Structure 1
Amino acid sequence: MTGRIDGPLMRSGGHSFRGSRIAAAIAIGVAFGCVFALFYPHGLFVSSPAVHDFRIEKSHAQVGSLPCESSERVNMLKSEFVAVSEKNAELKKQIREVTEKLRLAEQGKDHAQKQVLVLGEQHKASPFGTVKGLRTSPTVVPDESVNPRLAKILEKVAINKEVIVALANSNVKDMLEVWFTSIKRVGIPNYLVIALDEYIAIFCQSNDVPFYKRDPDEGIDSIARTGGNHAVSGLKFHILREFLQLGYSVLLSDVDIVYLQNPFDHLYRDSDVESMTDGHNNMTAYGFDDVFDEPSMGWARYAHTMRIWVYNSGFFYIRPTIPSIELLDRVAGRLSREPNSWDQAVFNEELFFPSHPGYEGLHASRRTMDFYLFMNSKVLFKTVRKDANLSKLKPVIVHVNYHPNKFPRMKAVVDYYFNGKQGALKPFPDGSD
């Protein structure tokens, strides 16, 4: 019976045999390695030198071309950046221009509504027939730095920030004397003469008449010293500006006027400008519908027009408001650019012409004075003196504006109304000689 031999001796022999086989395998491997190393020192899979050199050169070429390509790319990016920056600047400029246009458009939009906002809070419209719009603009903030010397004079002369102002040079000395004599006779304390030359300044001082002699101004003084009535009249729009800036309302007066009552007792003060009229009846003074007939138009031959006779630029009350100052600036500016223009015509054009394409009208409120109280010489000599009832009325002033022989007619007005001489006005014709 055969049994398995598994004793210690046999186990020891088995392990020894396996260890010798492993050692032999390692020895054979080392021997083969030495042989391969001897015959193939660069290994079995070695690329050719040409291929190896090509790869190296290609690698160097790529590295060498990188700075050149990068520089071109940078330059291209820079040029694109410059172009974009210029386009961006142009867009910003266009945006600024559009923004400015929108701002200006917004300033001109809803002008009346903005005036309401300035004057006070907005209101709902009241019931039918009770709505009244705003007519009285707010006065400007007084600025004494404009003319401190004039400001001190006005503090003494003006009453309730109001004053009568007249411009005079030596050419109108006789009429000026009648003018301030009538003012004194009525008892009007708040008046001032703008002396346009030294002679008038001395003349006013000797007659105890308040006066103001302006500082030298070459552009104005030559006209002031030698100018006639129209030339001197044009100066007032330039000079009056300072009065308004100082916060004073001015009753501007030519010197061919006789005062019979205190005009400040008969003003409404509800408008920027309150002026006497050259009209001689209700229609011409306050306006009327004048129908123009053009027969060639057939059915549409009649065209209705609105007519009003002009305001007299020799006697008007002007309040210290922005529209009033704009009026003075407009008239003075036009008279400087248009030396042959008549100041009264320009004064009325700026007051009445409405806004239209290419022109923005003046937004100033205006009132026409009662033509029987603030009377022009056409009304007096053509109508009033011939009417028994009207001749009993006593006007506030009489302005001898329609007649060239001003001085004798002024004296006749004084005789008729002050001295009671009923025939004082009869020797004169209705019109000029």
Structure 2
Amino acid sequence: MASRRDSLLNREKGQSGLRSRILAAVVVGVLLGCFFAFLSPHGLFASSDSQTDHNLSNRFSEQVVSSECESTERVNELKSDVQSAKEKNYELKREVRSLKEKLLQAEQGKDHAQQQVVVLDEKQKVGPFGTVKGLRTNPTVIPDESVNPRLAKILEKVAINKEIIAALANKNVKQELEVWFTNIKRVGIPNYLVVALDDTIEEFCKSNDVPVYRRDPDEGVDKIAKTGSNHAVSGLKFRILREFLQLGYSVLLSDIDIVYVQNPFDHLYRDSDVESMSDGHDYETAYGFNDVFDEPKMGWARYAHTTRIWVYNSGFFYIRPTHPSIELLDRVATRLSSNPKLWDQSVFNQELFYPSHPGYDGLHASKRTMDIYLFMNSKVLFKTVRKDDELKKLKPVVIHLNYHPDKFERMKAVVNFYVNGKQDALDGFPDGSE
């Protein structure tokens, strides 16, 4: 009994100690809670969570701003790409138009007979005997103002019916030039243009109210223009003249040693690629004749018949803007640039008249010889006309002092004879240059 009682007492003491410890732990826990609550009224983890939220917010904002910047840059890139695409598309369209024009020009440059079929768009039956006439007027090229926009604007103002008189001049021919444009003005020809090859001529034309065009600087051309001989300057005109034709204008190319008595545009036929003054002095030499070559050692075949014509004058001719005409200018300019010793008039006639033969393709250009008494060279005037009472009554269109070196004095005499009516004005000059 005593042992059981002791055991119960011990158990009660143990339980009482456990309760005391639990109570003490609770009290300590409550006190610690109050202490930390006082130190951290928002809780131990509140600051960390708030910082995390703040960081997340900042990161999101940065991402949004970054996204907006990237979007703006991307939009700008896309706009730039669109603009670039538009420009490329425009260039492609221009190239397509250019190719179409070149294709059309190539078609225009085909064989003349085939081209006429294209133009007429139908085949034609042959008419009665003696009524058939071939078509010899080549179609004009498509104008291309991009070749020389500045010249295009000048020609648009000065030319009439897409036609113009053009002359090259440098300071060496200043006296003759004054006689030249003075008589052009007197006749009343508005569509003419001086291509000035130096500052002196440009200023001289402007001071006299003469339409003038000064080419853009060209080292090779400028050197010849300012210091070259008359033949060297003459060679330049074929290259310069090409631009006029490319722009779609027919040109009456004129040297300066020419006196105008009438308007030449009233006396042109315009049915050929080239319509030129002749160096011939009568009907046979100007328009063609049968020249017999005699070689006695050939016996029965000693006489060989040839067809001859005196050369065209490269200082006065009317040229239409056609493919054969431009090909002629290219051929002449190329040969003259490769050999400066060549005479431009000789090359001009060779390319115009030489037929196709082995190793050479001739030029398929139509041509017409001008009336030698209307478009008169100085050999016709001084050797024949001034000595014939009937021929003296004729009124020429132009007189070209091409056969004589004393040009200025003879030009003044021509003006006195045909304009001022002085019948003896030509008498003091010899036929030639002796």
TM-score normalized by the length of structure 2? 0.74
Contact 2:277/2:312 (<8 A) preserved: yes
Write out the 4+ residue segments of structure 1 that deviate beyond 3 Å after TM superposition.
Answer: none
Q: Tell me which residue corresponds to 1:253.
A: 254
Rounded Cα–Cα distance in structure 2 between residues aligned with 1:125 and 1:244: 34
Q: Tell me which residue corresponds to 2:205.
A: 204
Shift of 1:268: 0.1
Q: Tell me which residue corresponds to 1:54.
A: none
The code of the aligned residue for 2:135 comes to: L
Change beyond 3 A, Cα 1:320–1:112: closer
Shift of 1:114: 1.8
Q: Tell me which residue corresponds to 1:158.
A: 159
Give a deviation string over 1:253-289, Cα, whole Å, max 9, x none: 0000000000000000000000000001110000011
Shift of 1:125: 1.6
Contact 1:116/1:122 (<8 A) preserved: no
Shift of 1:111: 2.9
Shift of 1:118: 2.9
Q: How does 1:10-409 map to 2 (within 5 A)?
A: 111-120=111-120, 121-409=122-410
Give a deviation string over 1:26-54, Cα, whole Å, max 9, x none: xxxxxxxxxxxxxxxxxxxxxxxxxxxxx
The code of the aligned residue for 1:245 comes to: Q
The code of the aligned residue for 2:159 comes to: A
Contact 2:177/2:257 (<8 A) preserved: yes
The code of the aligned residue for 2:212 comes to: F
Give a deviation string over 1:372-400, Cα, whole Å, max 9, x none: 00000000000000000000111000000
The code of the aligned residue for 2:221 comes to: I
Contact 1:274/1:369 (<8 A) preserved: yes
Contact 1:186/1:259 (<8 A) preserved: yes
Shift of 1:192: 0.1
Rounded Cα–Cα distance in structure 1 between residues aligned with 2:111 and 2:153: 36
Give a deviation string over 1:76-97, Cα, whole Å, max 9, x none: xxxxxxxxxxxxxxxxxxxxxx
Rounded Cα–Cα distance in structure 1 between residues aligned with 2:216 and 2:384: 44
The code of the aligned residue for 2:131 comes to: T
Contact 1:144/1:246 (<8 A) preserved: yes
Rounded Cα–Cα distance in structure 2 between residues aligned with 1:122 and 1:341: 45
Rounded Cα–Cα distance in structure 2 between residues aligned with 1:350 and 1:330: 7
The code of the aligned residue for 1:383 comes to: T
Shift of 1:345: 0.2
The code of the aligned residue for 1:254 comes to: D
The code of the aligned residue for 1:118 comes to: V
Q: Tell me which residue corresponds to 1:45.
A: none
Q: Secondary structure at the match of 1:305?
A: strand
The code of the aligned residue for 1:370 comes to: D
Shift of 1:368: 0.1
Q: Secondary structure at the match of 1:303?
A: strand
The code of the aligned residue for 1:378 comes to: K
Q: Secondary structure at the match of 2:422?
A: coil
Rounded Cα–Cα distance in structure 2 between residues aligned with 1:359 and 1:126: 35
Q: Secondary structure at the match of 1:320?
A: coil
The code of the aligned residue for 2:385 comes to: V
Shift of 1:113: 3.5
Shift of 1:359: 0.3
Rounded Cα–Cα distance in structure 2 between residues aligned with 1:200 and 1:112: 42
Shift of 1:117: 2.5
The code of the aligned residue for 1:210 comes to: P
Rounded Cα–Cα distance in structure 2 between residues aligned with 1:284 and 1:429: 22
Contact 1:163/1:248 (<8 A) preserved: yes
The code of the aligned residue for 1:362 comes to: L
State the aligned residue count: 325
Q: Which runs of no fewer than 5 residues in structure 1 stay unpaired?
A: 1-106
Give a deviation string over 1:44-82, Cα, whole Å, max 9, x none: xxxxxxxxxxxxxxxxxxxxxxxxxxxxxxxxxxxxxxx
Larger Rg: 1
Rounded Cα–Cα distance in structure 2 between residues aligned with 1:117 and 1:242: 29
Q: Tell me which residue corresponds to 1:13.
A: none
Contact 1:147/1:242 (<8 A) preserved: yes
TM-score normalized by the length of structure 1? 0.74
Change beyond 3 A, Cα 1:139–1:385: same
Rounded Cα–Cα distance in structure 1 between residues aligned with 2:304 and 2:257: 39
Rounded Cα–Cα distance in structure 1 between residues aligned with 2:416 and 2:113: 53
Rounded Cα–Cα distance in structure 2 between residues aligned with 1:375 and 1:385: 12
Shift of 1:112: 4.0
The code of the aligned residue for 2:182 comes to: T
Contact 1:331/1:343 (<8 A) preserved: yes
Shift of 1:291: 0.8
Shift of 1:338: 1.5
Contact 1:276/1:315 (<8 A) preserved: yes
Q: Which runs of no fewer than 5 residues in structure 2 stay unpaired?
A: 1-106
Contact 2:112/2:138 (<8 A) preserved: no
Shift of 1:226: 1.1
Contact 1:171/1:228 (<8 A) preserved: no
The code of the aligned residue for 1:318 comes to: I
Rounded Cα–Cα distance in structure 2 between residues aligned with 1:241 and 1:379: 31
Contact 1:168/1:176 (<8 A) preserved: yes
Change beyond 3 A, Cα 1:423–1:113: closer
